[in-house]
Amino acid sequence: MSKPVRLEKPQKKDYPAAQAYLALLVGSNAAAQLVERLRRAAVRKAPARDILSASHTPMAEVHAFDWRRKNKDIQQGRKQSPILLVCGKHGDALVIADGFHRLYAAFTQGQDFETLSERSKVSKKKLADQICQALWVHTEIEEQVFYPAVRQAIKDDDLMNEALVEHAGAKDLVAQISDMDPDDALYDAKMKVLSEQIDHHVQEEEQEMFPKVRKANIGLVALAARA
């Protein structure tokens, strides 16, 4: 099996990806600060197995990952960036801000991996609770004010129903996470799935709903005032 070719520093695109993920956990300002510190952090090497264990990543998730796709990248000589990590306070899980799949592939080959890490001062539970609360407020405002106006204006019930079902799924996960302890085996997996669901939802809003909203010329300023 070919040895992966490693980059000495993360690529430019790795930082915004890490920042978008961290923003879901710690909010935009804290995420921007953490990424600034990650940009200045030194590259270190750590066994992939230790990183996975410290991040409390469920091994079922690692084994389910289609690592052959990533191995193809490695065999074709595509260079692999270091992984971006954020350490919590003592006892908190390590947050993999960017590089899940590179790490999973490295683990299956029993390799060490280059990492950049920074330390977050706020506990994971507190951060997760903050993001869950913010998401709850956001979905409520959209459902009570924004979506009814959009539904009436764009006349696309399928799109609006899909958005509501996605909100319901996210709110269900938020409720589960709020009742959980960070030590629970599924805590990190639920946070990760929530972030993936929100990612998908935001993409659909931005790419499908918002262009129709712009075309329909809804009075957004008046709507914002009602919210």
> 37 vs 171, which CB is nearer to Fe ion?
171
> 171 vs 190, which CB is nearer to Fe ion?
171
Considering the rule CB under 5 A, would residue 142 count as an interface residue with Fe ion? yes
Candidates 56, 47, 123; CA nearest to 83 is: 47
> 184 vs 208, which CB is nearer to Fe ion?
208
Q: Fill in the per-residue mask, 166 to 185: x = in contact with Fe ion (CB under 5 A), - = not in contact.
A: --------------------
Cα 57 to Cα 62: distance, rounded to the nearest angstrom: 8
CB of 89 to Fe ion, least distance (A): 32
CB of 147 to Fe ion, least distance (A): 8
CB 173 within 8 A of CB 190: yes
Strand pairing report for 44-47 and 112-119: antiparallel
CB of 118 to Fe ion, least distance (A): 30
Q: How many residues line the site for Fe ion (CB under 5 A)?
A: 1
Closest residue to Fe ion, based on beta-carbon distance: 142
CB of 30 to Fe ion, least distance (A): 22
Instruction: Mark 151-164 as b/e (b = at least 16 C-beta within 10 Å).
Output: beebeeeebbeebe
> 94 vs 135, which CB is nearer to Fe ion?
135
CB 11 within 8 A of CB 116: no
Cα 79 to Cα 173: distance, rounded to the nearest angstrom: 36
**Interface segment toward Fe ion; rule CB under 5 A; list 13-21, 73-81, 138-146, 169-177:** 138-146
Cα 157 to Cα 147: distance, rounded to the nearest angstrom: 11
Candidates 132, 134, 15, 165; CA nearest to 83 is: 15
> 142 vs 208, which CB is nearer to Fe ion?
142
Considering the rule CB under 5 A, would residue 73 count as an interface residue with Fe ion? no
Binding site for Fe ion (CB under 5 A): 142
